[in-house]
Structure 1
Amino acid sequence: MQDLKRMVHKLNQAVEQNKHIIGAAVGCGLFAKYAEIGGADLILVLNAGRFRLMGYSSTASLLPFGNSNEMVMETGIQEVLRNVSSIPCIFGLCATDPGIVLDDYLDEIRDVGFSGITNYPTVGLIDGVFGEALQEAGISFDREVAAIHKASEKGLFTIAFVFNEEQAAQMAAAGAHIICAHLGFTKGGSSGVKLAISLEESAALSDKIFNAAETVNPDIFKLVYGGPVNSPENAEYIYNHTEAMGYIGGSSFERIPTEASIIRVTELFKKYQEVKSENKQLRQQLDLHTAIKQADYVRYITSYVTMHLHEPITFDHLSKELHLNRNYLSQLFRKKMGISFSEWLIQTRVGTAKDLLKKEHSSIQDIARQVGYEDASYFSRLFKKETGMTPSEWKEISHKNNNTPRN
């Protein structure tokens, strides 16, 4: 019980200091080790992590590809527990497993060194005909609630993944220390789900879940997991729009960054010279990411527009991308650039068109499209308003100047 009190006290301290609680769901000792070094507050050992290491999607965690509890126990004993020294490790318990005696198995989980449990894999992810069949067979979410209740009674720390308000209230009443709004499988990467609810929908759902849990236990910790929350920026949006105190990530911490890193490093070794020559686009992308990290929103806008000049661009779209109030962003832009966004966009498009007219033999229509105007007539009128000349006149004068012999 003393260990449990210390855990709760430490998490409360983090919340009081406005530090987000971070749980890293891992599938091997190496990832657990570096998550601890990175500052994670909790390590969750889940069967989904093992499947990700095999190259499968996390959805494999719900299919009969292996014994979930045996996989987690083996990974915990052989890899994770021996690599993590200072933060609690949580066992991903398949509570609906008919092959365990729950009371005895919880004792075994505690005795090998785990500090708590979470209900994963969870039947809460299964709906439709199969979900109904499981319910009829008695393989229900109620078993997961019972496991959380029993673990809490034994002094184990408990994290409850829930999908709606009713489940949140059940888990809070069962004694869960953390209620985690499960927003679905994580979006992103080559094996991640392609469809997920939006950030706005995620925030609304999380709020309902948190309110239901808080009604039962005002002291419960509130976290989110999965869905579109796959980056620090998206997590920040959830923090700003809900009462979330932190985030649990699996794919976001290991699969997605590992995929990108391995692919990129392999490409660099394989075709270094080719990669060197593509630096212009890469630099633009890096500038974009750096701008976001530094909260330089105006720099983000100018970099984004440069990369997407040929596309329709609206200030509303940019403000939504950055999750900022449109009027606030507009004021920031005018303050830094000295002109409005619409004025700057026209100047940028016309300036790019002038450069293209100097050196290209493309038609006016083609150049108009390259700078974002489908209507060549409208482009020509705008160009003349800005420069005092039509695009054709500008092109002709530019070519004459280029061909004039110099003494």
Structure 2
Amino acid sequence: MHTPTQIREKLLEAAASQKPIVGAAIGCGLFARYAEAGGADLILVLNAGRFRLMGCGSTASLLPFGNSNRMVMDIGVQEVLRQVRHTPCLFGLCATDPEIELDSYLDEIKEAGFAGMTNFPTVGLIDGVYGEALHEAGISFDKEVEAVAQAVRKGLFAVAFVFSPEQARRMAAAGADVICAHLGFTQGGGTAAKGSLSMEEGIALSQSIFRAAAEASPDAFKLVYGGPVSSPEDADRIYRGTDAMGCIGGSSFERIPTETSIVRVTELFKRYEEVKSENKRLRQQLDLQAAIEQADYVRYVTSYVSLHLQEPVSFDALAKKLHLNRNYLSQLFTRKMGMSFSRWLIRHRIQTAKEWLRSEEGTIHGAAARVGYADASYFSRVFKKETGLTPSEWKERQERS
């Protein structure tokens, strides 16, 4: 297991090489494995990560949907610690849990194989009347400060989520190795919380937090989490505007990328033929433009025909588009392609029709329309003349092979 000294040395190395320190807040073994593969410096096991996997969003981590500490212990021991080989794993501790005796529970965390802890879920995310009621009931941020102090004394690495300069000062004085400016739940994606801080507000709050922390502990590492930071570009803006040395990401590392990837891949499977056609058309348009710029007249003709294959094609009209004599263009075409334009056009149409017929939905009428034949019977006669088979016979032979 990593010691606090080893972890600090690792983070100092990252800072010395001018690389941001990255912590990945996750909720399952799979994400932990690939966060480590991507180079994460710290892995935080939080109950919010599990709720994100359920599609609930991180806000569910603050509601009574199960025992947070038991959830994190189960995820950590059964999944994360089995998958992660070289990266320190931190336990997301609900320090205000009335079912635990803090001192002995910290021992359990250490014995389980966790290198450290962080205060999550945190009452720092709860304000207003409810927040005041919790404080009056003794369920306050004070217990989280106490948990960090005890964890440090027991040889655990401690990451402290804080929401104000005063909290930062207290956590730094308690010995927290990392002060992380928590800017609220992450913006972006399908289950994101609304109404988070703006980037400018996040920069101002982060810097005030870091200044306060430095007063009590100049050597504490300074990170940011959440709010407007949902991409590497956002993180870079925070780094340039504050003393932040890196970031911790939850939604930005697993929920948002997973949402977009699953949607994109599912759509690709569902619309593959359509997407393939769109990509092919785009390439044809780019090729057509390049041919115009390079005065490559034959390439222009072939690109234009490919792009408008469903429409009637007139070689005379193409010559006029290029402001060329028809006979001169015909000679250029025959010399470069080794055949006349009319012969090439038939072959090109038949070859394109074959591509359509290979697909499950590729009907003869559909193939004819796609390559510019309004009469499917005439298309069939041309197809047989070129291939020796009718479109139906050709398609059956392809299905058998």
On whether the aligned pair clears a TM of 0.5, the verdict is: yes
Q: Deviations over 1:44-75 (max 9, x none)?
A: 00000010111111000000011000000000
Q: Is 1:101 aligned with 2:105?
A: no
* Deviation for aligned residue 1:274: 2.4
Of structures 1 and 2, the larger Rg is shown by 2
Q: Judge conservation of contact 2:2–2:115 (CA < 8 Å) in 1.
A: no
1:70 aligned partner, one-letter code: R
Instruction: Tell me, in whole angstroms, the C-alpha distance in 2 between the residues paired with 1:20 and 1:85.
Output: 21
Partner of 2:271: 271
Q: Is 1:31 aligned with 2:31?
A: yes
Q: CA RMSD in A?
A: 2.0
1:67-146 equivalent positions in 2, closer than 5 A:
67-146=67-146
Instruction: Tell me, in whole angstroms, the C-alpha distance in 2 between the residues paired with 1:203 and 1:94.
Output: 27
Instruction: Tell me, in whole angstroms, the C-alpha distance in 2 between the residues paired with 1:270 and 1:29.
Output: 29
Instruction: Tell me, in whole angstroms, the C-alpha distance in 1 between the residues paired with 2:267 and 2:230.
Output: 24
Query: Given the two structures, how large is their TM-score scaled by the length of structure 2?
Result: 0.69
Q: Is 1:43 aligned with 2:17?
A: no
Q: Deviations over 1:76-132 (max 9, x none)?
A: 000000100101000000000000000000000000100000000000000111111
Q: Deviations over 1:314-358 (max 9, x none)?
A: xxxxxxxxxxxxxxxxxxxxxxxxxxxxxxxxxxxxxxxxxxxxx
Instruction: Tell me, in whole angstroms, the C-alpha distance in 2 between the residues paired with 1:150 and 1:405.
Output: 86
1:228-307 equivalent positions in 2, closer than 5 A:
228-279=228-279
Q: Deviations over 1:201-241 (max 9, x none)?
A: 11111000000000111101000000010000000011111
Size of the aligned set, in residue pairs, is 289
1:207 aligned partner, one-letter code: Q
* Deviation for aligned residue 1:278: 4.5
* Deviation for aligned residue 1:15: 1.1
Q: Secondary structure at the match of 1:90?
A: strand
Q: Deviations over 1:373-397 (max 9, x none)?
A: xxxxxxxxxxxxxxxxxxxxxxxxx
Q: Deviations over 1:124-168 (max 9, x none)?
A: 000111111101101000010000000011110000000000000
Q: Judge conservation of contact 2:27–2:53 (CA < 8 Å) in 1.
A: yes
Q: Runs ≥4 in structure 1, deviation > 4 angstroms? A: 277-283, 404-407
Instruction: Tell me, in whole angstroms, the C-alpha distance in 1 between the residues paired with 2:281 and 2:4.
Output: 51
Instruction: Tell me, in whole angstroms, the C-alpha distance in 1 between the residues paired with 2:63 and 2:87.
Output: 30
Partner of 1:227: 227
Q: Secondary structure at the match of 2:252?
A: coil
Partner of 1:325: none
* Deviation for aligned residue 1:172: 0.3
Instruction: Tell me, in whole angstroms, the C-alpha distance in 2 between the residues paired with 1:117 and 1:147.
Output: 9
1:347-362 equivalent positions in 2, closer than 5 A:
none
Greater CA deviation, 13-22 or 73-82? 13-22
* Deviation for aligned residue 1:4: 1.6
Q: Judge conservation of contact 2:3–2:157 (CA < 8 Å) in 1.
A: no
* Deviation for aligned residue 1:276: 3.1
Instruction: Tell me, in whole angstroms, the C-alpha distance in 1 between the residues paired with 2:12 and 2:250.
Output: 23
1:183 aligned partner, one-letter code: L
Check 1:108–1:182 CA distance in 2 against 1; reply closer, same or farther (3 A cut).
same
Q: Secondary structure at the match of 1:254?
A: helix
Q: Deviations over 1:29-50 (max 9, x none)?
A: 0000000000000000000001
Instruction: Tell me, in whole angstroms, the C-alpha distance in 2 between the residues paired with 1:99 and 1:406.
Output: 91
Partner of 2:213: 213
Instruction: Tell me, in whole angstroms, the C-alpha distance in 1 between the residues paired with 2:56 and 2:121.
Output: 15
Instruction: Tell me, in whole angstroms, the C-alpha distance in 2 between the residues paired with 1:61 and 1:100.
Output: 18
* Deviation for aligned residue 1:277: 4.3
Instruction: Tell me, in whole angstroms, the C-alpha distance in 2 between the residues paired with 1:281 and 1:43.
Output: 45
Q: Deviations over 1:271-327 (max 9, x none)?
A: 2122334549999xxxxxxxxxxxxxxxxxxxxxxxxxxxxxxxxxxxxxxxxxxxx
Q: Is 1:186 aligned with 2:186?
A: yes
Check 1:120–1:281 CA distance in 2 against 1; reply closer, same or farther (3 A cut).
farther
1:210 aligned partner, one-letter code: F
What percentage of residue pairs aligned between the two structures are identical?
Answer: 67
Task: Mark the runs of 5 or more structure 2 residues left unpaired by the alignment.
Answer: 284-319, 327-401
Q: Secondary structure at the match of 1:92?
A: strand
Instruction: Tell me, in whole angstroms, the C-alpha distance in 1 between the residues paired with 2:173 and 2:226.
Output: 24
Q: Judge conservation of contact 2:148–2:158 (CA < 8 Å) in 1.
A: yes
